[in-house]
Structure 1
Amino acid sequence: MESVEMKRIFLVMAVIFILWGCATPYQKESVIGGFDETVLAPNVFKVTFQGNGFTSRERAKDYALLRCAEVCLDHGFKYFAIDEDNSYSKHSTIVVPGQTYGSYSGTTTARVTSSNKITAKTTGSLNTYTTPTIVNNIDKPKAVLTIVAFNDKNVVPRAFDATFLRNSMRAKYKIEDKEEKKQTPQRLGNSTNQTQTQKEPLESHQGNAAFQDLLGRAENGEAVAQSIITEKYYLGDGVVQDYEKAFFWGQKVAKQGDAHAQLLVGVMLHDGLGVHKNLEKAFYWSLQAAAQDDAMTQFFVGRMLCNGEGVAKDLKSGLRFLQLSANAGYVPAQYVLGGSYFFGQNGVTQNYIMAHAYLNLAASSGDEQSIKFLKLVTSKMTPEQIAQAQAMVTQWKPKM
């Protein structure tokens, strides 16, 4: 029974390690999915959202509608209607066959006869049991919507109000609005090459004076302006999202030692956003940022080293970067290390105590997958082992 359970756990964890254990977030399309759009006519757009195996059909459809509303507003329209809905779901099945096991229990009795001969008699029984077949059904939904946008709400009965829908969907899924502060890699406070500055506010289009001033400063070589404009284009924050322009400006400031820009350039090269995918260059720029002690970038570099992406596979070095990231408090790194110690992978020996400690740190942040995994690890441990792991967590302090 134990081996079958471990196979099932490993199957689930393999998927979690690849997709980081959560539904596809609301983001530009990347390796784990996201949204994309195509302009078919001045007021006609095709919008898609690709979800992963953890994304429900409802969420994929809602995210597509949210993107429809944003595209509508970005192009100066107030309302839209769905002209075609070609959404579908790609289904696949992973089967872990059942197995039959047997165990024998019995006793052997020996005696000495009157003629000094030894005789033995064995009695017992053979017990067998069969584990059930485990079927894992994976559905990857893709919402495909073609919309027509307009400004007169009477053109189409029951048309969507783009502003209302955008606000409603963002509230439902707790997604920050474009004008709000984004959940993005934070700038390093200890970088000697970085000057902390208040970012300038931009309006919702590119033709305003503030943006033109920022652009002029960037073109004149001002590093701070180049860094700001890189992030604005990367996020679509106050401007139309444009990865090519983000990469153009990001590379300029990355060469000047800005860790935040180095990370963004590395991510764009890794995912092929605005530039041809190049894992070797992605690793180079990510390593430059990781050297400045950024936990998120250290995790990114550690993952590339462990997977052999853009660099020769090096589990020892990859583990070191993952540990640096986890010890700085980065939850994804803590989660991956917990799994590594639980299974004895990525260059470490199986160690339930270390697995429990790292997952306990990740679970304390409220991460649901870490909480579930921690329960599994705990069920495999003795009270003494659990106490040792908890003592490690009590003494832990983030190393910034």
Structure 2
Amino acid sequence: MKSLKLFSLVLFAILLSACASQPKSAYKPATNAGFGYKEIALANNLYRVEFKISGNAKRANDYALLRAADITTNEGFDWFQVLKRDSFTGPEEKFGARDIGSRQLVTRRCGLLTCRDEVQSLSGSTMDDMGKVEDTTAVLEIKLGKGVRPALDNTYDAYETSEKLRAQYSLK
């Protein structure tokens, strides 16, 4: 009986850790941590689209384009033009890590019953060497349009763009 309880506890811990280690970068609305997409309507046919992802700048830009295509079709338009495109990349500390002054990094690692702190000296280390993860936020300002797509730079057919990117990333 004790071994069954222990087995159940271990299995629960494994399942819980598997859920916690899922990637932050799936195509979904932004969470409290900011990962995912968000948009704001600037006017009837103008939107600002942001997509934040952990570690992959190309995917962040592609997912921002996919969100732009989704907004376009959801609003009853056929195409969109990217008026402005920005991308921001920077380090984000892993969960439980905190910077103590400029000499050491303390990372708290917690198991089922206890926690322990690991201290790393910062001398001679770069941010990436200390467990930092690069996050990318892709930002687009788009103008939506109907009918025949104009022959302008940075215009996209919303249906074709959505279909291509969903197939490329195996999204439904």
Question: So what's the TM-score if we normalise by structure 2?
Answer: 0.64
Q: Are 2:72 and 2:79, in contact at CA under 8 Å, matched by a contact in 1?
A: yes
Shift of 1:90: 2.3
**How far apart are the structure 2 equivalents of 1:21 and 1:156?**
40
Is residue 146 from structure 1 mapped to residue 147 from structure 2 by the alignment? no
**How far apart are the structure 2 equivalents of 1:65 and 1:136?**
30
Partner of 2:49: 47
Which one of 64, 80, 97 corresponds to residue 121 of structure 2? 97
**Letter of the aligned partner of 1:24 in structure 2?**
S
Which one of 127, 147, 152 corresponds to residue 156 of structure 1? 152
**Letter of the aligned partner of 1:149 in structure 2?**
L
Higher strand share: 2
Shift of 1:158: 5.1
- Give the secondary structure class of the aligned counterpart of 1:51: strand
**How far apart are the structure 1 equivalents of 2:121 and 2:83?**
45
Shift of 1:92: 4.3
Partner of 2:40: 38
- Give the secondary structure class of the aligned counterpart of 2:160: helix
**How far apart are the structure 2 equivalents of 1:28 and 1:157?**
28
Partner of 1:343: none
**How far apart are the structure 1 equivalents of 2:165 and 2:144?**
18
**How far apart are the structure 2 equivalents of 1:66 and 1:18?**
26
Distance 1:77 1:143, change over 3 A: same
**How far apart are the structure 2 equivalents of 1:19 and 1:139?**
19
Shift of 1:155: 5.6
**Letter of the aligned partner of 2:70 in structure 1?**
E
- Give the secondary structure class of the aligned counterpart of 2:130: strand
CA deviation string 1:164-196 (max 9, x = no partner)? 0101111111111xxxxxxxxxxxxxxxxxxxx
Higher relative CO (Cα under 8 Å, sequence separation at least 6) belongs to 2
**How far apart are the structure 1 equivalents of 2:145 and 2:60?**
24
1:209-220 to 2 correspondences below 5 Å: none
Partner of 1:66: 66
**How far apart are the structure 2 equivalents of 1:36 and 1:169?**
18
Structure 2: unaligned runs, 5 residues or longer: 1-16, 98-104, 106-119
Shift of 1:157: 4.1
CA deviation string 1:117-147 (max 9, x = no partner)? xxxxxxxxxxxxxxx9653331111111100
- Give the secondary structure class of the aligned counterpart of 1:170: helix
Is residue 165 from structure 1 mapped to residue 161 from structure 2 by the alignment? yes
**Letter of the aligned partner of 1:164 in structure 2?**
E
Distance 1:57 1:80, change over 3 A: same
CA deviation string 1:43-69 (max 9, x = no partner)? 1111111123xx411111111110000
Is residue 135 from structure 1 mapped to residue 136 from structure 2 by the alignment? no
1:345-360 to 2 correspondences below 5 Å: none
Distance 1:18 1:57, change over 3 A: farther
**How far apart are the structure 2 equivalents of 1:20 and 1:157?**
40
Give the share of equivalent positions with the same residue, in percent.
Answer: 24
**How far apart are the structure 1 equivalents of 2:155 and 2:137?**
22
Q: Are 2:82 and 2:154, in contact at CA under 8 Å, matched by a contact in 1?
A: no
1:262-301 to 2 correspondences below 5 Å: none
Shift of 1:31: 2.9
Q: How many residues align?
A: 126
Structure 1: unaligned runs, 5 residues or longer: 1-15, 99-131, 177-400
Q: Are 2:52 and 2:137, in contact at CA under 8 Å, matched by a contact in 1?
A: yes
**How far apart are the structure 2 equivalents of 1:26 and 1:92?**
20
Shift of 1:87: 2.0
**Letter of the aligned partner of 2:150 in structure 1?**
N
Higher helix share: 1
Q: Are 2:82 and 2:140, in contact at CA under 8 Å, matched by a contact in 1?
A: yes
Larger Rg, first or second structure (1 or 2): 1
**How far apart are the structure 1 equivalents of 2:31 and 2:92?**
21
**Letter of the aligned partner of 2:142 in structure 1?**
I
CA deviation string 1:255-291 (max 9, x = no partner)? xxxxxxxxxxxxxxxxxxxxxxxxxxxxxxxxxxxxx
**Letter of the aligned partner of 2:26 in structure 1?**
P
